[in-house]
Structure 1
Amino acid sequence: MPDILILQERIKNSILVGESDFREFKSALEGRPDNKKPRLAKKICEDIGEALVAFSNTDGGELVIGVEDDTTITGIPHSESDIEMMLNAVNSHVLHGQELPIVYKLKLTIENKIILFFQVEKGTSEIYQLPDGRVVIRKDKRTVPVRIKNLQFEQQETKSREYDRQFVDGAIVGDLDILLIQNLADNYIKGLTAERYLQQLGLAQYATNGLRLTRAAVLLFAKDIQRWHPRSQVRFIKINGTELLSGERYNVISDEFVQGNIYELIIKSWEMMRPYLAYKTEFGADSRFEQRYIYPEDACREAVLNAIAHRDYYNSNGIEVHIYNDRLELKSPGALLSTLTINDLEALDNRHESRNAKITYVLKVSKLMREMGEGMKRIFTLMAQNELQKPKLYSNTVWFTITLFNKSDFTQTQQDFLRLFSDYDLSSVQKRILVAGMNGKELSQADIYHAMNTKDRDTYDKEITSLRNQNLLQQIRTNFQAKNFAYHNKIEKSRVPRFVVQVPPDKHIRTYKII
C-alpha cells in the first residue's frame, strides 16, 4: 500500500501543475455553471477507459476524476456503487482479456472532496484496445484514434521499453547530483525537496529499506555515469569526404566522444558538435565578425537531444555523429519502435511514442524538450526554412539514423530562376511557390499546398496574399470562376489552375529546363 500522505501531496502538486501530454482531468459534473449535476457513471467509465488505453499506448500518464480543466477540484458526488464502477473501468472498459499496466487506481479525499486517481505505465508488450476493438493514442493533450495492428513486440523491444522504469539495486540518492535535482525541483514547485521531486515524477519510490531509484533517475542524474551505464556517450567522427574509407585510404580526421548523465550529455555534446557546424567567419551587417553555419543550429541541437532522449539504453552502444563534407548523420542505438514508421515521422503531425517514457517526461517537465512529437517537425521545418534538402530518416534492426544535408533544396536551374526575384525579400515558402510555377505553369490550390509542404490554410492565405501584393503572382481565375470550371470539367476545385507567376518586367525571361 503506498504512503497515502505522500501520494496525496503528489496528486495535489500534479493538479497544481495542470494538464499535459501525460496528465488529464475529467469532471464528474455536467450542466450550466449555476446548475451542475452528476454525470452518468457510465459516461465517466467510458472516459476512464479511453484515457487509460491512450496513455498505455503512448507514454503512460495520470487521470484524475473530479477535477475541472482549470484545476478546480469539484469532487465526485456519486454513490459508492457508482464510484466502485468507475474504479473497475480499468477492467470493464478495455478489450476483454487485456490487462492495463495500472500503477494506481485509488479513491482519495483532497480538500474535502472525493476524487479518483489513476496512473498507468507505458505498455511494453502489446497494443491496448477499447471493448469495441478501437485503438486510441495520446496526441498532444488529446485522445485520438489510430489504425494499428494488434501486435506482439519483439523481445528486444520489450526490454528497451521497460528499461528506464526498472529499479536499480544498490543505487541511493547520494549517487545522484542532488544540487541539479534541487534546482529542477525549485523550478517545478517551490519548496519541493529533491527526494519529493524524484517521487513526484515517478523516478523513485519509498520501500521498507529506503528510497528506491529507477534507471531513469540514474541515467538522468548520476554523478558517476560510468558505474551505471558505460556507453552513456556521444561519439563524433569527422570524415574528409562523402564516404568512410578504410586501409591506406582511411579518411577520418578526428574521433572524439563525450560522456555523462543525460543532463551533462546534452550540454557536452552540443559544445563538441557546434564547431563542426561552422562554415566560415565573415563580416556581418554590423561590421562584426560572425560565424556562418552550414546547418541550422537549432535543427542540430534538436536532433542531438532527440537521439539522447529516445535511444535504446538497454543497448550497450553509444550515439554516433558522423560529419561528412556534404551531410551530418546522427545514429541512435535501437531500431524505430514497431508502432511507428518512417512515414509516421515524416508526416510531421506530432505523432509520437517515446521508448523512454520517464526520461522524456522529465526532460519535458524541465523544459529541455518541447511538446511531445514536435522535435521531428521542428527539424524538418528549420531545414526547409534554410532552403536545405529534406532530412533523411532510416531505421534497421540496430540503429535509427537521421541525416541532415548541407546542400540547397533547389536545383541549380531553380536557383538560376529564383535570381530573377533577388530584389524581393521572399520567404523560403514563397520561393517554393515561385519554383512550382516555372516556365509559365498555371498553379492550382493543390499545387501551391504541395509546394508549401503544408495543408495550413492560414499559411496559404498569408503567402499568396504577399506574392500577389508584390505582383509576383497573378490570378487567372476567381474563386467563382474556378468553381464553374471544376463543375464543367468534373474535377476538384482545388485542382483548377488559379494563378501564374509573374517574372519582374526588367528581368531577362527564358525557359528553364526542369531537372
Structure 2
Amino acid sequence: MVDVLVLTEKVKNTIVLGESHFREFKSAFEGRPDNKKPRLVKSICSDIGEALVAFANADGGEILIGVEDNGTITGIPHDDTDIQTMLNAINTHVYQKQQLPIVSANKITLDDKVILYFSVNKGSTMIYQLPDGRCVRRKDKSTMPAEINQIQFERQEVKSREYDRHFVDGVTVSDLDLPLLQSIADKYIKGLSIERYLQQVGLAEYGIAGLRLKMAAVLLFASDIDKWHPRSQVRFLKINGNTLEAGEKYNVISDDSVKGNIFELIMKAWENLRSYLAYKTEFGSNSRFEQKYIYPEDAVRETILNAIAHRDYSIMNGIEIYIFDDRMEIKSPGALLSTLTIKNLYELEGSHESRNSLIAKVLRENQLMRELGEGMKRIFGLMEEQELTKPELYSNGSWFKVTLLNKTVFNQKEIEWLNNFEQFNLTKLQKQVVLLGLGNRDIAPNDIFRALNISNTETEKFTQEVTVLRKAGILTEIMTSNQAFHMAKKIKKDKKDIARYRIVLP
C-alpha cells in the first residue's frame, strides 16, 4: 500500500524541481486565462498515455495532472468517474493494453486541490506504443516520434539494462558515504533527508523490512565499493610506443588503478589520468603557469564520464585506459547497446540510450552529465576545435572502445604551409582560409564561404574572418568588388565565384 504522506512529499518535491527529461506537468484546464474550462477527459487520457509511453521508451519518468507548466497547482475540476477514467489511462491508452512498468498511479490532494501522479520505469522487456501504433520517446523536455527499430533490443541485454535497478540484499543506508550523500541531497532540495532523497530519485523504496536500496544507489554512493562490486574501477596502462607487446618485448611502462563509487571514480580517474597527458607547462594569459595537454582536457573528462556512466556493471570487469604515444584508448565493459550503432554516434545527432538509467539520471541532475545524448557530440567537437583527428569508435560483443588520436587534421604539406603563418596565432577557421592559398591559388568568395562551412548568405561571419586576415596582410585583394562585378557579368558567372583574393606569405 502506498504511504500517502511519503507520496505527497515526493510530489511536492517533484513540483519544486520542475519539468525536465524525467518530469512533465499537464493542466486539467484549457482556454484563455480569464475563461478557463475543464479539458476533455479524452484529451487528458491521451496526454497521460503519450507521456508514460515516451518515458518508458527512454529513461523512465513522472507526469502530474493538475499542475501547470510553471509548477502552479490548479487541480482537477472533474468528477470522480472522470478521474477514475484518467487513472485507468495506463491501460486504455497504450497499444493493445501493453503493461507499462508503472511504479505509481495515484490521486492525491495538495493545497486542497486534487491532482494525479503517475510514474513509470524505463522499459526493459518490450517497446511501448500508443493505441494507434505510433512509437514515441522522451528527449529532454519533449516527446518525440521514434521508429520501433530504433529502440529494439535483444533479450540478452535485459540483465544489463536492469542491473542498476535491482534491489540489493543486505545493504543499508549506513553502507553509503553519508557526507557525500547528504551534500547531494542538499543540492537537490535544501533540507531533504538522505532517506527521502533516495526515494525521491528512485534509488530506494520502503518494504516490509524497511528501506531497500537499489544497485544504482550502491554504485553511486557506497563507502566500501569492493563489498558490493569488485570491479568499479579504472585501470591505466602507459605503453612505450604505439603497439602493446607481450613476452620479452612487454612495453608497459606503468600499470595502476583507481577504484571507488561512481562519484569518487569520476574524480579519481581524471586526477590520475591527467599526469599522463600533460606535455608542457607554460606561462598563461592570467600570469600563472598552466598545464597544457596532448588532448583537449574536457574531451578526455567527457570520455571518462561516458565510460563510467554507461558501462555494463553486470559484467565484473573494470574500465581500461591504454595510453600509447600516438593515441589513447578507453575500453568499457559491455557492447554498444543494440538500439545504437557506430553510425548513429558518428552522425552526431545526439543519439542516446541509457543502459543505466538511474545512474544517468542522478549524474545529470548533479550537472555532471550535460544534455542526455550530447556527450559524444561534445567529444568530437572538442577534438575538432583542437585540430585533432576525429575519435574512432568500436564495439564488439564484449566491450565498447573510444580512441582519441594525437594526430592533426592537417597533412604534412598543409602543416608546412601553415607554419609560415605561425606568428599570427590563427584560429582554426582562419587556417582553413589560408589553406586555400596553397600552391599560389587565387581565391573566390565562395571558396571562403565553403572553407568556413557557412552558406554564401552568411556575410557577417565572412566579413569578420576576411577582415582579420586582410588587416594582418595575409589576404590581399587582387581585384576590386567593382571589377569582379563586371568580370562576372562578362563571363556570365556569379560574382562570388570570381577569384579576387590571394594569400601572401609574410
1:345 to partner: Cα distance: 2.0
| Aligned mates of 1:24, 1:139 — CA distance in 2 | 12
The answer on 1:383 being equivalent to 2:370 is no
Which ranges in structure 2 are unaligned for 5 or more consecutive residues? none
| Aligned mates of 1:436, 1:125 — CA distance in 2 | 54
Secondary structure at the aligned position of 2:410 is classed as coil
- The 3 A distance-change label for structure 1 pair 324 and 193 is same
1:149 to partner: Cα distance: 1.6
Alignment deviations for residues 203-252 of structure 1 (CA, whole Å, 9 cap, x no partner): 11111211000001111111111110000000001111111111221111
| Aligned mates of 1:367, 1:499 — CA distance in 2 | 50
Secondary structure at the aligned position of 2:238 is classed as strand
- Greater shift, 337-346 or 249-258, is seen at 337-346
The answer on 1:346 being equivalent to 2:360 is no
Kindly indicate whether the alpha-carbon contact (under 8 Å) linking 1:148 and 1:339 is maintained by their aligned counterparts in 2: no
1:469 to partner: Cα distance: 3.1
* Correspondence for 2:464: 466
1:424 to partner: Cα distance: 4.9
1:76 to partner: Cα distance: 1.4
After superposition, residues 83-482 of structure 1 pair within 5 angstroms as 83-149=83-149, 153-284=153-284, 288-419=288-419, 422=422, 424=424, 426-432=426-432, 435=435, 439-440=441-442, 448=450, 452=453, 463-470=461-468, 471=470
| Aligned mates of 1:146, 1:272 — CA distance in 2 | 40
Alignment deviations for residues 257-296 of structure 1 (CA, whole Å, 9 cap, x no partner): 1111111111111111110111123444566543221111
| Aligned mates of 2:436, 2:347 — CA distance in 1 | 21
Kindly indicate whether the alpha-carbon contact (under 8 Å) linking 1:473 and 1:499 is maintained by their aligned counterparts in 2: no
| Aligned mates of 1:165, 1:393 — CA distance in 2 | 28
- For the aligned residue pairs, the C-alpha RMSD in angstroms reads 3.0
| Aligned mates of 1:94, 1:416 — CA distance in 2 | 63
1:430 to partner: Cα distance: 4.3
1:473 to partner: Cα distance: 9.9
The answer on 1:48 being equivalent to 2:51 is no
Secondary structure at the aligned position of 1:129 is classed as coil
2:398 partner letter: V
Alignment deviations for residues 354-378 of structure 1 (CA, whole Å, 9 cap, x no partner): 1101011111122222221222122
- Greater shift, 80-89 or 55-64, is seen at 80-89
Which ranges in structure 1 are unaligned for 5 or more consecutive residues? 509-515
- The 3 A distance-change label for structure 1 pair 184 and 73 is same
- The 3 A distance-change label for structure 1 pair 30 and 158 is same
1:98 to partner: Cα distance: 2.4
The answer on 1:502 being equivalent to 2:493 is no
| Aligned mates of 1:476, 1:97 — CA distance in 2 | 72
| Aligned mates of 2:351, 2:62 — CA distance in 1 | 19
Secondary structure at the aligned position of 2:168 is classed as coil
Q: Count how many residue pairs are aligned between Structure 1 and Structure 2.
A: 492
Alignment deviations for residues 67-96 of structure 1 (CA, whole Å, 9 cap, x no partner): 111111111112333222222222222221
Secondary structure at the aligned position of 1:384 is classed as helix
- The 3 A distance-change label for structure 1 pair 498 and 112 is farther
1:300 to partner: Cα distance: 0.6
| Aligned mates of 2:155, 2:143 — CA distance in 1 | 28
Secondary structure at the aligned position of 1:238 is classed as strand
| Aligned mates of 1:499, 1:419 — CA distance in 2 | 28
Kindly indicate whether the alpha-carbon contact (under 8 Å) linking 2:150 and 2:340 is maintained by their aligned counterparts in 1: no
Alignment deviations for residues 151-210 of structure 1 (CA, whole Å, 9 cap, x no partner): 763333110100101100111111111111111111111111111111111111111211
2:501 partner letter: Q
| Aligned mates of 1:119, 1:459 — CA distance in 2 | 48
After superposition, residues 42-81 of structure 1 pair within 5 angstroms as 42-81=42-81
| Aligned mates of 1:10, 1:285 — CA distance in 2 | 48
| Aligned mates of 1:140, 1:60 — CA distance in 2 | 12
| Aligned mates of 2:171, 2:500 — CA distance in 1 | 66
Secondary structure at the aligned position of 2:256 is classed as strand
Kindly indicate whether the alpha-carbon contact (under 8 Å) linking 2:64 and 2:116 is maintained by their aligned counterparts in 1: yes
1:423 to partner: Cα distance: 5.8
1:432 to partner: Cα distance: 3.8
Structure-1-length-normalised TM-score: 0.88
1:404 to partner: Cα distance: 0.8
1:147 to partner: Cα distance: 2.3
Secondary structure at the aligned position of 2:95 is classed as coil
Secondary structure at the aligned position of 2:271 is classed as helix
Structure-2-length-normalised TM-score: 0.89
Secondary structure at the aligned position of 2:136 is classed as strand
- The 3 A distance-change label for structure 1 pair 405 and 499 is farther
- The 3 A distance-change label for structure 1 pair 281 and 52 is same
Kindly indicate whether the alpha-carbon contact (under 8 Å) linking 1:139 and 1:351 is maintained by their aligned counterparts in 2: no
Secondary structure at the aligned position of 2:148 is classed as coil
- The 3 A distance-change label for structure 1 pair 39 and 351 is farther
| Aligned mates of 1:4, 1:354 — CA distance in 2 | 31
* Correspondence for 2:29: 29
1:28 to partner: Cα distance: 1.6
- The 3 A distance-change label for structure 1 pair 500 and 187 is farther
Secondary structure at the aligned position of 1:125 is classed as coil
Kindly indicate whether the alpha-carbon contact (under 8 Å) linking 1:30 and 1:38 is maintained by their aligned counterparts in 2: yes
Kindly indicate whether the alpha-carbon contact (under 8 Å) linking 1:385 and 1:429 is maintained by their aligned counterparts in 2: no
Alignment deviations for residues 410-443 of structure 1 (CA, whole Å, 9 cap, x no partner): 2222333444655655432443465478645757
| Aligned mates of 1:336, 1:218 — CA distance in 2 | 24
| Aligned mates of 2:334, 2:245 — CA distance in 1 | 25
Alignment deviations for residues 313-369 of structure 1 (CA, whole Å, 9 cap, x no partner): 001111010101011111111111111122222232323221101011111122222
| Aligned mates of 1:507, 1:312 — CA distance in 2 | 54
Secondary structure at the aligned position of 1:170 is classed as coil
1:415 partner letter: I
1:503 to partner: Cα distance: 3.5
| Aligned mates of 1:386, 1:501 — CA distance in 2 | 30
